[in-house]
Structure 1
Amino acid sequence: MTDIRTRGVSRRHLLGAFAATMVTATPTFSNAAGFLRGAGDIRRIRMYSGRTGERLDMIYWIEGDYIADAVKEVHHFMRDWRTNDVKQIDLRTIDIMAAAHNLMDVSEPYMLLSGYRSPKTNAMLRARSSGVAKNSLHLKGQAADLRLGSRSVSQVARAAAACHAGGVGRYSKSDFVHMDCGPVRSWGR
């Protein structure tokens, strides 16, 4: 798990960060890896859950520091909605999601289908489908299954793969992309 460093964030910092979101240039595929290493002044994540009806639009990183309260909200948002169990989501996964989103140049939030999965939920899903791994990175808070209505599975997967930072699975029949912070690899169509 990446270390969360907190920093006193003034109202002026936050207002400046919000203003910066309106004028920041979107990274290109060629510099996504640089974005993940800390290029840029802010990182933002936008998601909604069709299961809970919740929405999240949050700046979670400013000038090299993760904002602890914002990251805590992301953890809660990405909880196992079936059991309501919350686990810390690996910050690398959140960064990959944010970088891929920026590469696609969209303002539409991701639809989160699955973030953290409790052992009970993962076992139930495995019993229903052969496509659910016994030792899924979802169990560790290191993966997310996401969808964007305005982009195809291929477009989302290409953006995630361009980050060269983890696993990317294409699930075209189910209309979602799996992103994780495990070893760099890809699968599906």
Structure 2
Amino acid sequence: MTTDTASSMSRRAILGAFAATAITAAPTFANAAGFLRGGGDIRRIKMYSGRTGERIDMIYWIEGEYIRDAVKEINHFMRDWRTDGVTSMDLRTIDIMSAAHNLLDATEPYMLLSGYRSPQTNAMLRSRSRGVAKNSLHMKGQAADLRLSSRTVAQVARAAAACRGGGVGKYSRSNFVHMDCGVVRTWGR
């Protein structure tokens, strides 16, 4: 590569190329709070959906910047699968999910049970269960319900709570953890 070619490449292009090749370089962080404050150079999310059969494994943040195309893919992946409705997920929730996953030192992806929910889906679920909030943060793209088969609900919930970034609900009977970027709080068994 000539000096002219190298100097004409933008920082963003270099970071984009790095993102495409650096998946194995994603570090494990011992301190989630530091991670959420920008203590890491790379943020990665790994999930699959049993509802759609889709999988996602991508770096979405490098050196203080979110990667727009990666975030767009995450938004689509976390859509309401019942209505195919997509919203912009709150990146604070994605950061909490990523930090908790790193704290757990898990290699398997999260199973996404619920990300964004349309008001219609939320109303339908609410009619079937008392556990669904009328003004659920899922409808704002600020919450996710997740499961890891290699970790207990209590382990996943402890990791998410250590992030001190929002709400963490344990649903042991249904085998999932709720994570959101709302008020810091915990609930459930």
Mark yes or no: TM-score above 0.5: yes
Contact 2:23 2:58 in 1 (8 A): no
Shift of 1:9: 3.1
Q: Could you report, residue by residue, the CA deviation over 1:88-120 in whole angstroms, capped at 9, with x for unpaired residues?
A: 000000000000000000110000000000000
Partner of 2:147: 147
2:79 corresponds to 1:116: no
Gaps of 5+ in 1: 1-6
SS at match of 1:61: strand
How many equivalent residue pairs? Answer: 178
User: Which residue does the alignment assign to 1:50?
Assistant: 50
Counterpart CA distance in 2 for 1:144 and 1:153 is: 14
Shift of 1:19: 4.8
TM-score calculated relative to the size of structure 1: 0.91
- Relative to structure 1, the CA distance from residue 118 to residue 12 in structure 2 (aligned partners, 3 Å threshold; closer, same or farther) is closer
Q: Which aligned segments of 4 or more residues in structure 1 are displaced greater than 4 angstroms?
A: none
The 1-side partners of 2:24 and 2:13 are apart by 15
**Cα distance in structure 2, aligned partners of 1:59 and 1:90:** 16
- Compared CA separation, residues 58 and 127, structure 1 to 2 (3 A): same
Distance 1:131 1:17, change over 3 A: same
TM-score by length of 2: 0.91
After superposition, the C-alpha distances for 1:98-150 in whole angstroms (9 at most, x for unaligned) are: 00000000110000000000000000000000000000000000000000000
Q: Percent identity?
A: 75
Residue equivalent to 1:170: 170
Q: Structure 2 stretches of 5 or more lacking a match?
A: 1-10
Report the counterpart of residue 105 of structure 1 in structure 2. 105
> Using the alignment, how far apart are the partners of 1:12 and 1:113 within structure 2?
31
Q: CA RMSD in A?
A: 1.3
Greater Cα radius of gyration, structure 1 or 2: 2
Q: 2:29: which partner in 1?
A: 27
CA distance in 2, matches of 1:76, 1:175: 24
Indicate if the aligned counterparts of 1:17 and 1:62 stay in contact, CA closer than 8 A.
no
Pairing 1:127–2:104 present: no
